[in-house]
Amino acid sequence: MPRLPGQQAAPSPTSAALVHPRPAAGETMRLFVAIAPPPEVLDELDKLAAPLRAARDDLRWTSREAWHVTVAFLGEVDESSLPDLLLRLERAARRHHDIRLAVSGAGAFPTPHRANVLWSGLSGDRRSLANLAASVTAGARRAGASPRDKGRRFEPHLTLARCRLPADVSEIVAALASCQGPAWHADRIHLVRSQLPEPGRAGTRPRYATVAWWPLRGLEPAPEASQVTRTG
């Protein structure tokens, strides 16, 4: 069962009480909706990335525990919007069956020759994944949490590294072009809170906490939430 870091059993996912720690009235939270690949998929990707990390220490490589597929980045969301957001994400999940995916190839934003982000791509039923992302985006917008990346073409990926300055990662992209990981069925979505490091604290990474998760249609509900854990 795929999980984001630190998940443990919790009450119904439609309750705002799931947020850990519970936000104060008027507080905003930096949120995104994601899919978490299972451990065996991450193991294979980690093996491919290991020699690349050693060769390019100029890049800020993300940790294995942080790898996920962002379905929609919501940005700062007011605490008052959370109950409606949870309900609408649950409804969005119910509209879609599980999706067969595999880690495949690589790319970079904006381009491999002047990259800010290096990523590994996905193959499989990308159309169903795009439809799920559209449902999540529509539900979030109705809840007053309009995604920050609206208007951009949906490009599902797992972020492998970020670049302090624009960097040429074309050789890495070429080396990963033919990689094809094991297939898996994405069967749930997670609402995740991201807490950025405090300004001036070098070397620290964002902390992620799963607020709630919902099964896609066909999987029996088993709602969970997580404590905050340090990830990349």
CATH number (domain holding residue 112): 3.90.1140.10
Instruction: List pLDDT tens digits, range 55-91.
Output: 999 999 999 989 999 999 999 999 899 999 999 999 9
The pLDDT mean for the chain works out to 84
Quick check: is 109 in a domain?
yes
**Residue 165: which residues within 8 A CB-CB, separation 6 or more?**
none
Quick check: is 203 in a domain?
no
Average pLDDT of span 212-225: 67
Instruction: List pLDDT tens digits, range 201-216.
Output: 555 678 889 999 999 9
Check pLDDT > 60 for residue 49: yes
Check pLDDT > 50 for residue 17: no
According to the model, what pLDDT value does residue 127 have?
A: 97
Give the count of domains, the chain.
Answer: 1
Containing domain of residue 147, as a range?
A: 52-185
- Taking each helix axis from N to C end, the angle separating 126-142 and 82-94, rounded to the nearest 10 degrees, works out to 150
Check pLDDT > 70 for residue 151: no
Quick check: is 139 in a domain?
yes
Check pLDDT > 90 for residue 176: yes
Dihedral sign computed on CA atoms, order 134, 136, 140, 142:
positive
Q: Please name the residue that has the structure tokens 């940005």.
A: 75
Q: Please name the residue that has the structure tokens 């094809």.
A: 180
Quick check: is 127 in a domain?
yes
Quick check: is 76 in a domain?
yes
Of the candidates 174, 95, 164, 175, the one whose C-alpha atom is nearest the C-alpha of residue 128 is: 95
Quick check: is 133 in a domain?
yes
Which DSSP string do the residues of 35-71 spell out, in sequence order?
E---HHHHHHHHHHHHHHHHH-TTEEEPPGGG--EEE
Task: Check: pTM over 0.75? Answer yes or no.
Answer: yes
